[in-house]
Each structure stands twice: as C-alpha cells, then as structure tokens.
Structure 1
C-alpha cells in the first residue's frame, strides 16, 4: 500500500493564501481602475452633452440669421410697451413682471407679439426667432410653456420650470403659468431693448467678430424652477434674464456671479455663437480685452 510520507527539506501539496497586504494592493488596483473607468465614462458623457449644447446654439444662431435675412434687423430683447398682457391660467389678461426687493422696484416685462416688426416686438430675441426654429405654433399662439428643450443646456442640472412663486428676491407675476426658460442669453450690445433693434449693417466689427448668444451664469440656489430672478422666461421681453454683457464666465454653482455674466456647467468655460453662425468654446481665462471686443459690435478692436 502506497503511503505518503514527508521527506526532510521538501514541502509538498501546500496551499498558500493571500496576505493582508496583497489583498489591500489588489483592492487598491481595482479601485483605481474603477475610478479611471468611471471618469472616462463621465468625460464621454460630458463630451456628448457639450456637443449637443453646441448644436443647439448653432440652431439658435441660424434662427437669428434667418430672422435678420427676413426683416433686415437683428432680433431685439423686447420690452414693455405699457399695453402688453398675456392670458393667465384663469383666462384673464394680466401684465407680466418682477418686483425686485433689492432695488424696491416693480419691473414690467413685454410679452411676445405674433407678427410684430423687430422695432415693435415686445417679446425677447428667443421668442422672435421661434418661427425660424420650426416652432411657429408656439410663436403664433404665445404658448408660454413651450419651446423649452432647444433652449436648455443638457449639461446643466435644473428642474423643469414651475409656476413662479414669490421668494426672498422678488414677487413674480406670471399668471399662474409655468413659462419656458432659456439657458442661453443674447448679447445685450446686439439684442437691444424695445423699441430699439439693430440692422445688420450696424455691426461694424463684422458678424464673425461679434457674439450673438452664449450660455448664461447660473446659481441653482437662486435660479430655481419657481423663480424669475435674473432668469425671466423666453416669451417675456426687456429683462436681464435673456441677455448678458458682462466679462466673466462663471462655473455653475452657489455663489456664481450671475447678474450680468456668462457661465455654464461645462468645465473651464462656456459655449458661444457668433453672428456669422459659427460656434465655439471660450475659456474662463479668456483675455478681457478680446472678450470685450467680441461683445461690443462697434469697438473697432478687431
């Protein structure tokens, strides 16, 4: 009968397990690989969202060009003419406005007017170009809840607009309706307030050297789904919620200097379109003089 036996100086059939240090090293490697993979996935998703955002701004730029070709004027930012009303949820005509506590003042906003000429349009630029974006029904019937998706950056996490509700910043007159908002602002030096509107010939620096739209700065603590504070909606006109002309590009988040500045959820800067229809990314560290020259259509710097 065969018998297994132990020979001095020789070890046979011994199973050796992992030491604690080896297990920790393996776990650390797995964790590193997971983090690298997760980061790559997130970067790929952000790249796709950024591309979509750029395509949306390109469509807006095309809408602005089509508007200008038809009317020989760039769209204005609109504004109140003293007669603007919109039908409230209860069916009554109301004026649209924001009472701002910081300056103790009631601001009345314009409302989009179907078929109005550029110099008489009381809705903002975003409303004025809706027919060029194949949203003629929303334009013609002033469907204030419509037209949102094209104007919303997919990288920016914010809830769909709700009926505006008074808060510590202001009181909002929206007629009990949830108005669509925009993440893209017009260049205030180009989209003038009612009753002014600019002809293309007024852009002395050239269309390729002048910004048309860009992503606007956003503080999610303040610009909530029920607030209009510096975030007035697409179908209104004359407010700072739909135009910007500041020289800062802010990253989304609490404390962002949103009142007149640009910004986005994209790392490092924001997307802009120019009046010639081109789009591009400007970093937060863009040279101030260059940025100023792109905003001002008549500075002659370029």
Structure 2
C-alpha cells in the first residue's frame, strides 16, 4: 500500500489573502453593527420621551394642567421632572425627598447645597435616572452639580420642556438673560391646559432632547446654559425674571453650535442628523437638523394659528 500523502500547509501568500479577506469582512460588518447599536439606543431614547409624554398627560389628568416651568419661590428649586415622579414609577423617590424635607419641591435646593434640608449628596439625587438620560449621549447618566463641599455628580436631565419661541409673548424683565416666553407649554408660572393648545397637540412640542454638547464653546460648557442635573429646574428673581434650567425658549435650530445664554439652550443630540421630540399628543418624532427653522419655530408655540407640515 502506498503511504498517505502529506498535506502541505498554507503558503505565506495564501495566509495573507485569508487575513485580507477577514479584514474586509470585518470592515464591512463593523459599520452595520454600530448602526444597529445606535438604532437600539435611539429606540430607547424614543421610549424615554414616550414615557415623559405619557407622564405629562397623566399629570394633566390629575391636576388639570401641565406642570409649571417655575414658581415665585426664590432659590435653586426643583422643577417639572420631580413633579411627574408619581407617573414614571418613581413615587418612592419623591416620598423620600418629602421625608427629608416636607414639601420638598419648594423647600429643597439639592443642586446647590449638601446640608439639611437639601442633602444634595444623598443617593436620591446622585443616582442616575435612566428615564432622563439618552443612552446615545457620550455624557453618561450624571452631570455636575454645585455643592457646598465641591462639585458632585447628580442624575442628569437630557430632555428640556418647551417654553415657547423668543419671537412671541416674551416677558421682558430687568435683565435680558432672565426674560422668558409664554408662547409654549411649560414655562415660568405656566398653567397650560390641553384646551390652550389650539395649534394642535400633534404639531406642538412638549419636550425636546438636549443630550450632547459637541460644538459648544467653553463659555457654554461651563455655564448654566449647559447640560445640568434634574435637581435644578429654575431660579426665580425678586425682579420677576427667571433662569430656566429644565425648560427653554426656542431661538436656535436643532444641533446649533456656538455660544448661547441660559434660557435658550438649543435642542441637540448625539443621534446623527437631528434630535428626538415628544409632542403634546404623546407621540415622539425625530426632527432633522436641516428642517425649516420657520416650521420648528411654529412647533414651539401653542396658539399662533400656524399650519405645520412634516412633508
């Protein structure tokens, strides 16, 4: 019998060809994997905004109005995010806050102070809030706060309520940086009901995404106009002005890059090409950064009589 033939090994050329083919396949598949991951993150962000929209509706059902964007209470006060805790399965969190300081929404200032009755370093405030953070954001689930014992991280807020357009119904105060619009849905001292949204709930912004800061200048990154924790919603001045932390006036297009002031932080996201928005009917839309600014401005007002087309 003939002895079996020995199998020859791969030649160097063959081995290099195989490695090249594998490299090409990986290069082709990697973008697809990344795109699939971003699609999943964008869907989760959309679900977050859907929950916020439904929570706002439930709040309206109970209180017969949407939550306000600020009250005539001085200090670094908590805003609308905590007012909807009962409707996003975070009722225990608001109960714990009230346990530390009764009527916590107007007695606590956790963004600024760590002492009683504010307790800004308490786990209630330092834990991330998944419903308030976009999973695509490179900034993560926390943001810097200003505590008495140095800066601390607290749960971030990547979704700002729509206070209205700077082109309509502005309340002018002693300082332009404290001026605010009353043409939207959630703004200082607002008491907006569904009946007041005569432009149509399906074409009026309720909450918009602000989860990325790429392109912002250093002065914007380090100012109160940047991305902050949910623990500070507004600041009311005795002169009648407000700083709007969790609600904003519309002045710039989506994904605007540059320096702006506190009350007009633009909507922007880490999603390619635009940002997510929850509308007053509870639906969620992805609006592109190239959309006509006139249309975006119309969506920021509730009762101007504009006709909005998404075509």
Q: TM-score, normalised by structure 2?
A: 0.67
Asked whether the equivalents of residues 255 and 267 of structure 2 are also in contact (C-alpha less than 8 Å), the reply is yes
Task: Identify which of 261, 277, 281 aligns with 1:276.
Answer: 281
Is 1:128 matched up with 2:83? yes
Show the counterpart of 2:67. 75
Deviations 1:24-64 (A, max 9, x none): 66554432211111111111111111111101110000001
Asked whether the equivalents of residues 67 and 190 of structure 2 are also in contact (C-alpha less than 8 Å), the reply is no
Write the distance in 2 (CA, Å) between the matches of 1:191 and 1:154: 26
Residues 197-236 of structure 1: pairs in structure 2 closer than 5 A: 197-216=191-210, 218-219=212-213, 229-236=225-232
Is 1:47 matched up with 2:28? no
Show the counterpart of 2:4. none
Deviates more, 1:177-186 or 1:239-248: 239-248
Asked whether the equivalents of residues 75 and 191 of structure 1 are also in contact (C-alpha less than 8 Å), the reply is no
| Displacement of 1:191 | 4.4
Show the counterpart of 2:295. 290
Asked whether the equivalents of residues 77 and 242 of structure 1 are also in contact (C-alpha less than 8 Å), the reply is yes
| Displacement of 1:201 | 1.7
Q: RMSD of aligned C-alpha atoms?
A: 3.3
Show structure 1 runs of 5+ residues with no match: 1-14, 83-107, 112-122, 165-171
Residues 147-158 of structure 1: pairs in structure 2 closer than 5 A: 148-158=129-139
Deviations 1:134-188 (A, max 9, x none): 1112223333335611100011112443663xxxxxxx45676543221111112
Write the distance in 2 (CA, Å) between the matches of 1:76 and 1:195: 6
Write the distance in 2 (CA, Å) between the matches of 1:46 and 1:236: 29
Task: Identify which of 240, 246, 260 aligns with 1:242.
Answer: 246
Asked whether the equivalents of residues 255 and 269 of structure 2 are also in contact (C-alpha less than 8 Å), the reply is yes
Q: TM-score, normalised by structure 1?
A: 0.68
Show structure 2 runs of 5+ residues with no match: 1-7, 98-123, 165-183, 235-242
